[in-house]
Chain A
Amino acid sequence: GNSVTQMEGPVTLSEEAFLTINCTYTATGYPSLFWYVQYPGEGLQLLLKATKADDKGSNKGFEATYRKETTSFHLEKGSVQVSDSAVYFCALSEGRGGNKLTFGTGTQLKVEL
């Protein structure tokens, strides 16, 4: 079956530091890949997505590249802000997101001044 593995947190960084959150996946077909963000007290929001190999999703300074050869979709940001503190979930679906999603365990990011 499908599965998503992402690095455990919490990850604590200073403001303006570089962020990487690793995500690897196992899927039988050619899934679409997603990063969702959950701010404290709120629901999940789609951060970015990629639907095929070598696609790069980007939003709000965050980027992730769909790497089929390494089955990875690592999340990166060059300079984090305190407002980026949240829980980040990597996920996949067999379709483009309208189908059911398989989530990783989530990585909590804390950004300090």
Chain B
Amino acid sequence: GAVVSQHPSRVICKSGTSVKIECRSLDFQATTMFWYRQFPKQSLMLMATSNEGSKATYEQGVEKDKFLINHASLTLSTLTVTSAHPEDSSFYICSAVGGAVESEQYFGPGTRLTVT
């Protein structure tokens, strides 16, 4: 099946610094990638939809200047958490869709961000 990777799997950073998370589709071209945030024992909350070559579409309440998303190629999307604070600590998950609009979403394994 289709494989999506995320890097890093875990990252610890200091408050005020920026962190970049990569999401790659390894064996297919992803026209659309989604970024989710998962709090402990809670559901996945969609943050933004990323389409290759265009600006990301952010969900209501998500700060686009804080969570920068770049989808520069059909196999790579990046999420940069700028000026991170402890409340940004969370599990960030991406998913990728390839081919037709109605095809399945394939999820990455997630990135655990801890801001100290």
Residues of A within 8 A of B (CB): 36, 41-46, 89, 95-106, 108
Residues of B within 8 A of A (CB): 4, 6, 32, 34, 41-46, 49, 93, 95, 97, 100-105, 107-110
Are B105 and A98 in touch, CB under 8 angstroms?
yes
Residues of A within 8 A of B95 (CB): 44, 101
Main secondary structure of the interface of B (DSSP, over half): strand
Residues of B within 8 A of A100 (CB): 34, 46, 49
A-B contact pairs, 19 of them (CB 8 A): A43-B4, A43-B6, A43-B107, A43-B110, A46-B105, A89-B43, A89-B44, A96-B102, A98-B97, A98-B100, A98-B101, A98-B103, A98-B104, A100-B34, A101-B105, A103-B44, A105-B41, A106-B42, A108-B41
Report the minimum CB–CB distance from A88 to chain B (whole Å).
Answer: 12
Report the minimum CB–CB distance from A4 to chain B (whole Å).
Answer: 8
Residues of B within 8 A of A101 (CB): 34, 44, 46, 95, 105
Are B32 and A45 in touch, CB under 8 angstroms?
no
Are A44 and B107 in touch, CB under 8 angstroms?
yes
Q: In the bound complex, what is the Cα–Cα distance between A97 and B101 (angstroms)?
A: 8
Q: In the bound complex, what is the Cα–Cα distance between A26 and B45 (angstroms)?
A: 17
Residues of A within 8 A of B109 (CB): 41-43
Residues of B within 8 A of A98 (CB): 32, 97, 100-105
Number of A-B contacts (CB under 8 A): 59
Report the minimum CB–CB distance from B30 to chain A (whole Å).
Answer: 11
A97's contact among B6, B105, B108, by CB below 8 Å, is which?
B105
Q: In the bound complex, what is the Cα–Cα distance between A24 and B51 (angstroms)?
A: 30
Residues of A within 8 A of B45 (CB): 103
B107's contact among A45, A102, A106, A108, by CB below 8 Å, is which?
A45
Q: In the bound complex, what is the Cα–Cα distance between A28 and B108 (angstroms)?
A: 29
B93's contact among A43, A46, A106, by CB below 8 Å, is which?
A43
Residues of B within 8 A of A106 (CB): 41-43
Are B101 and A99 in touch, CB under 8 angstroms?
yes
Smallest CB-CB A-B distances: 7 pairs:
A96-B102, A43-B109, A44-B107, A43-B107, A103-B43, A105-B43, A98-B97
